[in-house]
Amino acid sequence: MNRGIATRNSGLSVHIDGVSRRYGRVTAVADVSLQVAAGEFLSLLGPSGSGKTTLLMMLAGFEQPDEGRLLVGDRDLTHVAPNKRGIAMVFQRYALFPHMTVAENIAFPLRTRGIGRAERDEKIRNALAMVKLDEYAARKPAELSGGQQQRVALARAIVFDPPVILMDEPLGALDKKLRQHMQVELKQLQRRLGATVIYVTHDQEEALTMSDRVAVMNHGRLVQLGFPRELYDRPADPFVADFIGDMNLLPGTITAASGSACTIQLDGGLAFGIAPHPLVAGAAARVAIRPEHVVLSPARAGAPGLQGRLTQTVFNGGTTVILVELPGGTMLHASVGTRSEQAALQPGAPVVASWAPDQAIVFSGFAPPA
């Protein structure tokens, strides 16, 4: 089931069974059930306040669920103390001890477990080698860069061979280039270890890049679980469509429907798409279409598609984003190759926008995504 998971598998499965957590009248996590396979890298993705960190804190034992169970392997950890769970936690702000050296920081979980000096030293050497910090054992955290501190935090988490590693936005404090580099290294490290990783992030690009599967959360609920490509190509609802990647959400009215195939009257003309749920003629709808799937051409009489006017082009390096205003004021974004003929179109030019029907998803209703 899990694509790209390491063949060496020392991880354990994680089962979140009907878990809820409330703070007074506020429900932070609402009846979430989720099965994570042994050795899987799963991201909990969502905006601030979606419940993803609360769910992680319950797995770590720092919060207690009001309902439901938390199992790792065949152990019920719902009411087990954090230090008795045998799982590791990596925080966004590293949480290193400033007065300790790198080696002493990494040794801390081994000391608390009563591991002898010789075995401890060997495990520290192996952990340092794993994160490529062999020469930094004697340094203090203040003498390290942000990326190096994050590696120390990872080494401390993996040094006692945990079957499950929990990570709460561990790369959030790094600059973009270093964060992208660390994403690759962290994923490679997870493959070598074979550990199960549950990773919290609000960065959809990070989740799509690193994960075997992604669990999207909103308002405390699990709204979609799937492979990255599945979530990107076939979002379950307008929230997921809007939250993951760039997406045009265009309001319109169904004019014809046959099975999942729909024709929709949009601002500027007729368009086509596929509806995940049955819709009927006359129903309010929204069409979700990725900017890279929008095809622009100079306007000409009788051309099928949406009539509009190019208002702005934005150079993004390898791609150019083109903003098109449709007759009623709706804005449509198209993403094209910087050296393409479409990128050469000038602001003010009348254009026609179209797309392949199977690349557009049609959702019911006009309400904007939450």
Fold designation for 246-364: OB fold (Dihydrolipoamide Acetyltransferase, E2P) (2.40.50)
* pTM of this structure: 0.87
Give the pLDDT score at 4.
37
Domain ranges of the chain: 14-240, 246-364
Give the pLDDT score at 7.
38
Q: Which of 294, 295, 277 minimizes the C-alpha distance to 286?
A: 277
Fold designation for 14-240: Rossmann fold (3.40.50)
Give the pLDDT score at 2.
41
Do 322 and 296 meet the contact criterion of CB atoms below 8 Å apart?
Answer: yes
Per-residue pLDDT tens listing for the chain (370 residues): 343 333 344 799 999 999 999 999 999 999 999 999 999 999 999 999 999 999 999 999 999 999 999 999 999 999 999 989 989 988 877 778 899 999 999 999 898 888 888 998 999 988 888 888 888 999 999 998 888 888 888 888 888 889 999 999 888 777 788 788 888 888 888 888 899 999 999 999 999 999 999 999 999 999 999 999 999 999 999 999 999 999 999 999 999 999 899 999 999 999 999 999 889 999 999 999 999 999 998 887 667 889 999 999 999 888 999 999 999 999 999 999 988 888 888 899 999 999 999 999 999 986 443 3
Taking the C-alpha atoms of residue 208 and residue 132, their distance in angstroms, rounded to an integer, is 25
CA 108 to chain centre: 31
Give the pLDDT score at 344.
85
Cβ neighbours for 19, distance < 8 A, ≥ 6 positions apart: 29, 31, 32, 33, 55, 58, 65, 67, 68, 69, 70
